[in-house]
Structure 1
């Protein structure tokens, strides 16, 4: 069931830290994007790109000493995250990226603005997550950041990756980047020269899928999870992750062995294998409804 995840070359340096917040910060800084490149079948209205994996490895190396310090003295990070009143993981991810970008001694970016609203008269056109000056290239960069969890259904082609909310699909998110979020030519009186999507999180294959079925744009440097509607045979080896652990699990097991299963993310002890359990009746209803809706447009 989980053989496809047991890949020795995957690096997960965020797991070396003890404090949960620091583990999450390290994940946000150094984990690769879940996509290695933009799928070739996409037609982009406004072009953007993903950072190479080597860029994130370099950021981690530059930030490592700071992370070690925060692991022993996390109060500054704790105080910063107290500004966040929402429990949404995507907003938490953005806050952690923001914390890192404010640590200007450890990366080549000068933060010019965060959450920049673009307004035309009474109408809000959109908002930019981050506007940066890359001091190495002198380019003005626009970053949009997102933390996403997508499950492959039917096959692994681009239209069939669904979020936990079925209106949230990978294809829809990529189109939103291109059509809406990266539409702006300038911000804060700076001409935008490069546009980057920071798209992190995890992808899940249905039980029985194999690595050979993966599209080439899936980043194989990120650990893949499995998803299904059956309790695995090794159920005693799993425990349910708390919501905040979806970014990065605690160093130690945070809950009892799973006894009563419900929709959620589970982790196999000592194996670091992730299993997204989906309730069978709800899942089948959603798939049948989606199939019916698709038939209406054939």
Structure 2
């Protein structure tokens, strides 16, 4: 089965840039969704789609020269992200995509709204991350964006993918998409014609189970990591939290000697990721 060490080609152009924040922006644009389709186990109430990998590759290629400029002069991107006071990675991801969408000479979208709240009286019904006009199709699209890291357990069924907080599961997130986040057909007086989940990040397979079949909805175009409760023999360095988007060009930490929960990385012979978890934390509620 495919794994973090499989000798296959991955489209990872973000690794060429030297400035961390530009590497992050390139990752947000170029990386594929972690899912290719809605799992059949999910009861779909409001339908949505995922962009095909080729779309993100095209968006990156159209933006590459701009990224190279930002790599030399990143202040505009630094200033834009400085408005974000939260350190949450999911909000950093959303704001990086916002920066890209505002750079509308490089892609076919016109941003019509961001963080649009839907309110009925004193009740907030929900919020739409992005509403955009696709100038190629003339369709109004609603995008919900999420940066997620899930660890697969047992047979890797939909119900067996857990976040670092075990209340955050892949099934729960997809249910939230279909039941709540994509319930709206209009925003800011625009009729919504298509709905897309932009769901990026990384999935991790159990380190000691190599005979599992991957569900068909997992996107193997994105490098899969491994997770486990054992410390590997090969040297890894621990990533800072912002590096979960993309590791810095040079190692930001020493080779791990003692291990705490978190994401670890080695770039030789090929990039690989290992999410270490203390056994005592796996079943905490």
Shorter-chain TM-score range: over 0.9
Contact conserved, 1:148 with 1:200, CA < 8 A, in 2?
yes
CA shift for structure 1 position 42:
1.5
1:212 Cα offset (Å): 5.3
Q: Distance in 2 between matches of 1:211 and 1:184?
A: 42
Query: Contact 2:5–2:272 (CA<8 Å) still a contact in 1?
Result: yes
SS at match of 2:142: strand
Instruction: Tell me if structure 2 keeps the 8 A contact 1:239–1:269.
Output: no
Question: Counterpart in 2 of 1:276?
Answer: 275
2:147 counterpart residue number? 147
How far apart are 1:204 and its partner, in Å?
0.1
Q: Helix, strand or coil: the match of 1:105?
A: coil
Which aligned pairs between 1:1-298 and structure 2 lie closer than 5 A?
4-210=4-210, 213-234=213-234, 237-270=235-268, 271-283=270-282, 285-286=283-284
Alpha-carbon distance change, 18 to 144 in structure 1, aligned in 2, over 3 angstroms: same
Task: Give the number of aligned pairs.
Answer: 283
Distance in 2, Cα, partners of 1:127 & 1:211: 41
Q: After the TM superposition, which of the residue ranges 262-271 and 55-64 deviates more from structure 2?
A: 262-271
Gaps of 5+ in 1: 290-298
Cα deviations by residue, 1:138-176 (Å, 9 ceiling, x for unpaired): 000000000000000112111000000100000000000
What is the CA distance between 1:4 and its match in structure 2? 4.5
Please say if residues 260 and 276 of structure 2, whose CA atoms lie closer than 8 Å, have aligned partners that are also in contact: yes
Deviation at 1:40, TM superposition (A): 1.5
Quote how far apart the aligned CAs of 1:272 are. 1.2
Report the CA distance shift for 1:8/1:182 in structure 2 as closer, same or farther (over 3 A). same
Task: Please identify runs of 4+ aligned residues in structure 1 that moved more than 2 A.
Answer: 2-8, 208-212
Q: Aligned partners of 1:27, 1:276: CA distance in 2, in Å?
A: 19
Partner SS state of residue 69, structure 2: helix
Partners of 1:254 and 1:178 lie apart in 2 by 39
Task: List per-residue Cα deviations over 1:97-151 (Å, max 9, x = no partner).
Answer: 0000000100000000000000001111000000000000000000000000000
- After TM superposition, the structure 1 stretch with the greater mean CA deviation from structure 2, 264-273 or 123-132, is 264-273
| Structure 2 contact 4–226 (Cα < 8 Å) conserved | no
Matched residue SS, 2:105: helix
Instruction: State the 1:211 CA deviation.
Output: 7.2
C-alpha contact (below 8 Å) 1:4/1:211 kept by paired residues = no
**Structure 1 residue 6 displacement after superposition:** 2.9
SS of the aligned residue for 1:106 comes to: coil
What SS does structure 1 have at the residue aligned with 2:54? helix
**SS of 1:10 mapped into structure 2:** coil
Indicate the RMSD between aligned Cα atoms, in angstroms: 1.3
Task: Give the C-alpha shift of residue 210 in structure 1.
Answer: 3.3
User: Could you give the per-residue CA deviations for residues 233-276 of structure 1, whole angstroms, max 9, x where no partner exists?
Assistant: 21xx2110001000000011111111120000000242311000
Alignment partners' CA distance in 2, 1:29 and 1:219: 16
CA distance in 2, matches of 1:212, 1:165: 24
Secondary structure, aligned partner of 1:267 = strand
Q: State the 1:5 CA deviation.
A: 2.7
